[in-house]
Structure 1
Amino acid sequence: MKTPKRILVVISGRHTEHPALERALKFAELDDIHIHLFNSIYEPVMELTDVLSSEHRKEMKSQYMADRYLYMDTLADDLDQKGISCSVNVAWHRELHEAIEEIVNELEPDLVIKCITADRFNINPFAMPVDRHLLRYCKAPLLLIRDSHWVNKPILAAIDPTVRDTKHIALNHNILEYSKMLAQVTKTQLHSVNTFETPNMGPSMDVGWANIDFQSIKVDTTNAHKNKMETLLKEHDLFINPYHVLEGRADIVIPDIAKKIDAQLLILGTVGRTGLSGAFIGNTAEHILANMNCDILTLKPNL
């Protein structure tokens, strides 16, 4: 996996620091990259049609756009001084997620970096409509970040080595290759995790289940997953890296192991434009990400 060359950085207004941009600069340490700075603005005051004439609204929009371009150009100038290729785009759009999708479709970047949308009450990416929409539908790899800097904490890659369909097999390979590259960028350790569920002998089961050795099923399933995990990791020269094969629901187990190893980044996959899928489809994925207190990178098979 090569370092992403074309990186779209979503700038969220005027601030003294831009964590998404700082994160993009880490990739410049490994390779020549092009950073496209993107900002979307909209002013609800423009809706006051009874107060503002169409000419006034047009003039105000022009002023808003010029002011924001002026600010974005200062960020671009800083990148130029560092010898980093860059470009700037400011969009006027009522919906931020739609503006981002449109620029992604136009530029086809290798990576999109955006700060997790947060308010003082919530930093769960699925609680905020913009991030929830992007996680489900963004065509490019999407990195949602919480902090400005990567530190010396592990990366966690969530994979499923038992899948058989072409898309999910490709997805596993993409996740591991991207994880290797990011481990190099961050100079940190890479962990991988696979979860599985087995039937349990519950009190509601009648005596007819007594002849089934559930413990043996659990052991055999664990060994099968471990063997497949080891085979997949060997293909990527990652066999010496720590890996975790754990029984339980993915939405519970993955956040737990991420917390245990103090992961700074979770990498998982999506298939198509129907949203997070595979072992991480629908509510399961949302529960995983809602419980993660770290950066999140989502990938698709066709990187």
Structure 2
Amino acid sequence: MGQYQRLLLVADPTLHQSAAMMRAIALAKASGAALDVRAFVEPVPVTHVWEERIDEVDAQRYQRRYRRWVADEVEQLNAHGLDVTVDVVFTSHPLLDILKSVKALKPDLLIKDVTLEPALKRVFITPLDCHLLRECPVPVHLVNQIRYALPHRVVAAVDPFDPGTQISGLNDAIIQTANALALQCDVPLHLLYAYDLSAAFNGDAPMDTGGWNEDFASELRESQHQTFVALADRHGVPAERRHFVMGHPVPVITEFVEQYLADVVVMGSVHRVGIDRLIGSTTERALYSVPGSILAVRQGGTV
């Protein structure tokens, strides 16, 4: 039996073939999972805003385009031997309707193309992708660019030194989700931890001598390494696929993906409030920086 029983693809609203579509088809074929394809598009546009009037001819033409797309997609996906459903949801609130679909269909994975929003726009409007990272109760696979339809290398990016992730079990969920994908694709799973030693050099650390600070940094590094090793041991990750790298997470992950040609980075999405929510999580920042694709696991997510 495959690792996935049901996949939900949020289709590109332009209705063009996309990287996410290729990934969804490949995973569905490899796992034997049912594939639900949904396009969430704007409702029929009104002809005159001040009259809120819809031209019937234009409306029929608009809807006919999507009915034709549904029929074509069903035919093409059935040709792949897939168990599929295809539908169009006309909505002004795609996030709400996507979450409704997740609740109704209970997929193991939601798959969607990354929508590249300008940085300035992201300052004022939270993109749909970020909302999904924060609110979707099932793992979200946001596909940016792909070399292969089916991933060839998967990496789980963890933070075992963060007390929050230890208490919530998020690191274990990240590794389990990454391992399921790696097993399904019959590819190696790598484990990556970008550790930070800034605490050894900030205002809270004693600054009597430089040597003392170096000792503290060494002790902090060793403590983090032991925590990482314990996590890797618990999940049976071989030593040659454990990567303990000093630096800030996003640059480290970016360099790792480029060096090891990783296809998918599995990360955690932690609920944040206040200023942290405005700044965004590491996963949200990685979404627009890391080449390849991200598979996000939300802290405490349930359908």
How far 1:28 moved relative to its partner? 2.9
2:267 partner letter: L
Q: What are the superposed Cα offsets for residues 41-69 of structure 1, whole Å, 9 maximum, x if unpaired?
A: 22574162446735x35x64455334313
1:18 partner letter: S
Q: What are the superposed Cα offsets for residues 137-176 of structure 1, whole Å, 9 maximum, x if unpaired?
A: 2222111112353477532211122345587552211211
- C-alpha separation in 2, matches of 1:234 and 1:200: 27
**Which residue number corresponds to residue 40 of structure 2?**
40
Ranges in structure 2 where 5+ consecutive residues have no aligned partner: none
Normalised TM-score (structure 1): 0.80
CA contact (8 A) 1:159 1:175 kept: yes
**Which residue number corresponds to residue 177 of structure 1?**
176
Ranges in structure 1 where 5+ consecutive residues have no aligned partner: none
Counterpart secondary structure, 1:209: coil
**Which residue number corresponds to residue 215 of structure 1?**
214
CA contact (8 A) 2:269 2:281 kept: no
State the identity as a percent: 21
1:99 partner letter: D
- C-alpha separation in 1, matches of 2:269 and 2:289: 18
Counterpart secondary structure, 1:9: strand
CA contact (8 A) 1:117 1:125 kept: no
- C-alpha separation in 1, matches of 2:172 and 2:264: 18
CA contact (8 A) 1:117 1:128 kept: no
- The alignment covers a number of residue pairs equal to 295
Moved more, 290-299 or 233-242: 233-242
- C-alpha separation in 1, matches of 2:76 and 2:129: 28
Where does 1:1-303 land on structure 2 (aligned, <5 Å)? 3-13=3-13, 17-42=17-42, 45-46=45-46, 48-50=48-50, 53=53, 56=55, 60-61=58-59, 63-118=61-116, 129-147=127-145, 149-150=148-149, 154-164=153-163, 168-198=167-197, 199-201=199-201, 209-210=208-209, 213-272=212-271, 282-300=280-298, 301-302=300-301
- C-alpha separation in 1, matches of 2:205 and 2:103: 56
Tell me how large the CA RMSD over aligned residues is.
Answer: 3.7
Are residues 213 and 258 of structure 1, via their aligned partners in 2, closer, same or farther at CA, if it must alter by over 3 Å? farther
- C-alpha separation in 2, matches of 1:7 and 1:206: 49
Are residues 197 and 187 of structure 1, via their aligned partners in 2, closer, same or farther at CA, if it must alter by over 3 Å? same
- C-alpha separation in 1, matches of 2:136 and 2:222: 36
Normalised TM-score (structure 2): 0.80
